[in-house]
Structure 1
Amino acid sequence: MPFLDKIQRWANERPDNTAVVVAGRRLSWADLRDSATGAVPASAGVTVLAETNSIDFPVRFAAAVAGGRQCAVLDPAWPTALHEEIVQRLEESAQPFPVSGDDPLADGPPDSTFLIGLTSGTTSVPKAFTRSRKSWQRSFEASIEFFGLRPDDVTLAPGPLVSSLNLYALAECLYAGSEFQTLESFDVGDVHAAITHDGVTRLVLVPTMLRLLSERGLTGCVDASGVKTIICAGSKLDARTLEAARRWAPNATIFEYYGASELSFVSGAGLAAGEPLDAGGTGIGHPFPGVEVRILDDDGSELTAGEAGNICVRSGMVSNGYLWGDDGQALRSFDGWFTVGDQGYLADGELHILGRRSDMILTSGKNVYPHEVELALASIPGVAAAVAAGMADDLRGQRVVAGVVPSHGGITATQLKAGLESILPRDKRPHQYFALSELPTTDRGKVSRNMLLEWIGSRDQRVRHLER
Structure 2
Amino acid sequence: MPFLDRVARWAEERPEELAVVCGAERLSWRALVARAAALAASGAPTGVLRQGNGTDFAVRWAAGVAGERECAVLDPLWPDGPAGAVLRRAAPRLPAAPAPARLRDGDPASSFLIGLTSGTTAVPKGFRRSRDSWRRSFEASADRFGLRPDDRVLAPGPLSASLNLYALSECLYAGAVFTTLPRFDVAAAHAEIAGRGVTRLVVVPAMLRVLAERGLAASVDAGGLTAIVSAGQELDRRTEEAARRWAPRATLWEYYGAAELGFVAARRRGPGQPAVAPGTGVGTAFPGVELAVLDDDGRPVPEGTPGTVCVRSRLVCDGYLWGDDGRAFGELGGMATVRDRGFLRDGQLHVLGRSADMVVTGGHNVYPQEVEAAVAAVPGVADAVVTGVPDGARGQRVVAGVVTTHGRLSRRRLQDGVASALAPAKRPRHYVELDELPLTGSGKLSRGLFRDWVLDGDHRVRPLG
Give me the TM-score of the superposition, normalised by structure 2: 0.97
8 Å contact kept, 1:45–1:69: no
8 Å contact kept, 1:238–1:375: no
Deviations 1:240-297 (A, max 9, x none): 1111111111111111111000000000001001112222121111111111101111
- Cα offset, 1:379, TM superposition: 1.5
8 Å contact kept, 1:67–1:99: no
Q: Match for 1:292 among 286, 290, 293?
A: 290
Cross-structure match for 1:70: 70
* Structure 1 residue 214 corresponds to structure 2 residue 207: no
Cross-structure match for 1:87: 87
Give the Cα–Cα distance (whole angstroms) in 2 for the partners of residues 462 and 54 of structure 1. Answer: 33
Partner SS, residue 35 of structure 2? helix
Cross-structure match for 1:236: 234
Cross-structure match for 1:48: 48
The more displaced of 128-137 and 371-380 is 371-380
Cross-structure match for 2:157: 159
Partner SS, residue 440 of structure 2? coil
8 Å contact kept, 1:68–1:99: no
Cross-structure match for 2:426: 428
Q: Match for 2:166 among 165, 168, 171?
A: 168
8 Å contact kept, 2:70–2:94: no
Give the Cα–Cα distance (whole angstroms) in 1 for the partners of residues 385 and 149 of structure 2. Answer: 38
8 Å contact kept, 1:119–1:126: yes
Cross-structure match for 1:38: 38
Please show how residues 186-265 of structure 1 align to structure 2 within 5 Å: 186-265=184-263
Report the AA paired with residue 178 of structure 2: F
8 Å contact kept, 2:297–2:333: no
* Structure 1 residue 12 corresponds to structure 2 residue 8: no
Give the Cα–Cα distance (whole angstroms) in 2 for the partners of residues 20 and 192 of structure 1. Answer: 18
- Cα offset, 1:411, TM superposition: 1.2
The more displaced of 170-179 and 222-231 is 222-231
Report the AA paired with residue 163 of structure 1: A
- Cα offset, 1:163, TM superposition: 0.3
Give the Cα–Cα distance (whole angstroms) in 2 for the partners of residues 337 and 28 of structure 1. Answer: 42
Cross-structure match for 2:3: 3
Q: Match for 1:325 among 313, 323, 326?
A: 323
Deviations 1:392-448 (A, max 9, x none): 100010000111111112211111112112222222111111111221222221222
Give the Cα–Cα distance (whole angstroms) in 2 for the partners of residues 108 and 189 of structure 1. Answer: 40
Give the Cα–Cα distance (whole angstroms) in 2 for the partners of residues 361 and 30 of structure 1. Answer: 53
8 Å contact kept, 1:413–1:466: yes
The more displaced of 272-281 and 53-62 is 272-281
- Cα offset, 1:60, TM superposition: 0.3
- Cα offset, 1:226, TM superposition: 1.0
8 Å contact kept, 1:403–1:433: yes
Give the Cα–Cα distance (whole angstroms) in 2 for the partners of residues 303 and 457 of structure 1. Answer: 36
- Cα offset, 1:198, TM superposition: 1.1
Partner SS, residue 197 of structure 2? coil
Cross-structure match for 1:361: 359
Cα pair distance change 1:269/1:43, threshold 3 Å? farther
Q: What is the aligned-residue identity percentage? A: 55
Give the Cα–Cα distance (whole angstroms) in 1 for the partners of residues 313 and 44 of structure 2. Answer: 31
Give the Cα–Cα distance (whole angstroms) in 2 for the partners of residues 42 and 446 of structure 1. Answer: 38
Report the AA paired with residue 452 of structure 2: E
Q: Match for 1:449 among 447, 450, 456?
A: 447
- Cα offset, 1:464, TM superposition: 1.0
Report the AA paired with residue 171 of structure 2: C
8 Å contact kept, 1:44–1:69: no
Cross-structure match for 2:386: 388
- Cα offset, 1:219, TM superposition: 1.1
Deviations 1:304-336 (A, max 9, x none): 211111111011010000111112332222353
Q: Match for 2:307 among 309, 321, 338?
A: 309
Equivalent residues, number: 464
List structure 1 runs of 4+ shifted beyond 4 angstroms. Answer: 43-46
Cα pair distance change 1:43/1:354, threshold 3 Å? farther
Cross-structure match for 2:99: 100
Deviations 1:184-235 (A, max 9, x none): 1111111111111111111111011111111111111111111111111111
Report the AA paired with residue 108 of structure 2: P
Cα pair distance change 1:334/1:456, threshold 3 Å? closer
Q: Match for 1:137 among 131, 135, 138?
A: 135
Cross-structure match for 1:29: 29
Show structure 1 runs of 5+ residues with no match. none
Give the Cα–Cα distance (whole angstroms) in 1 for the partners of residues 299 and 286 of structure 2. Answer: 23
Cα pair distance change 1:203/1:414, threshold 3 Å? same
Give the Cα–Cα distance (whole angstroms) in 2 for the partners of residues 43 and 384 of structure 1. Answer: 52
Partner SS, residue 21 of structure 2? strand
Report the AA paired with residue 181 of structure 2: L
- Cα offset, 1:45, TM superposition: 7.5
Give the Cα–Cα distance (whole angstroms) in 2 for the partners of residues 335 and 276 of structure 1. Answer: 38
Partner SS, residue 285 of structure 1? strand
8 Å contact kept, 1:238–1:379: no
Cα pair distance change 1:95/1:78, threshold 3 Å? closer
